[in-house]
Amino acid sequence: MSVLVRPEAAADRAAVRRVVAEAFGDEGLLIVELLGALDAAGRSRVGLVAELDGVVVGHVQLSQSWVDAREALVEVLVLSPLSVAPAAQRRGVGTALLAAAVAAARATGVPAVFLEGSPDFYAARGWERGSAHGFTRPSARIPDAAFQVVVFDSREPWMTGPLVYCDPFWALDAVGLRDPLLAEIERTFDS
């Protein structure tokens, strides 16, 4: 069974909301609200869906943010959220969405795409710590190991500094982790 990844269409909205809500469990409604807020603020840049047998089982969003470099603000993209319906997990859907999202980000001409996520999952798929490239986490609530980036050929050496998320992430408190989960993750990956 192969995964089909394609651009999100207006007709996919209900399926996307369902997948995101299921994938994020207790946080699902907040993440669905984040998608709406990113759209309303005009910050959404790319939305992709994944289908298995004609059914939407995954979604990924790329949104506008910036790196606050000394020379100038640099537009970048943030990959969030990446959602796969629980019944379709461990079948390559997330990996396919991630590869398609990186290709889409590269095609926009931005110098980098960022995310917060599991170093185990994302590092195996080409992502690296942002700090290794001179980028700074936008919040102390993001463990360094979870602050990850893919840089593209359009990046110039001066394009370093803190990542600045667009407003909807902050307005909905969707940046980083809160304790006790934050402390647990830091013990696991930063020790």
Q: What is the pLDDT of residues 74-99, one digit of tens each?
A: 999 999 999 999 999 999 999 999 99
Q: What is the CATH number of the domain that holds 184?
A: 3.40.630.30
Three-state SS string across 38-60, please? HHHCCCEEEEEEEEECCEEEEEE
Split at pLDDT 50, 70, 90, the class of 191 is: low
Q: What is the pLDDT of residues 43-57, one digit of tens each?
A: 999 999 999 999 999
Domain range enclosing 13: 4-189
Residue-wise pLDDT tens digits, 24-44: 999 999 999 999 999 999 999
How many structural domains are present in the chain?
1
Residue 190: per-residue pLDDT = 61
CB 14, CB 36: distance < 8 Å: no
Q: What is the pTM of this model?
A: 0.92
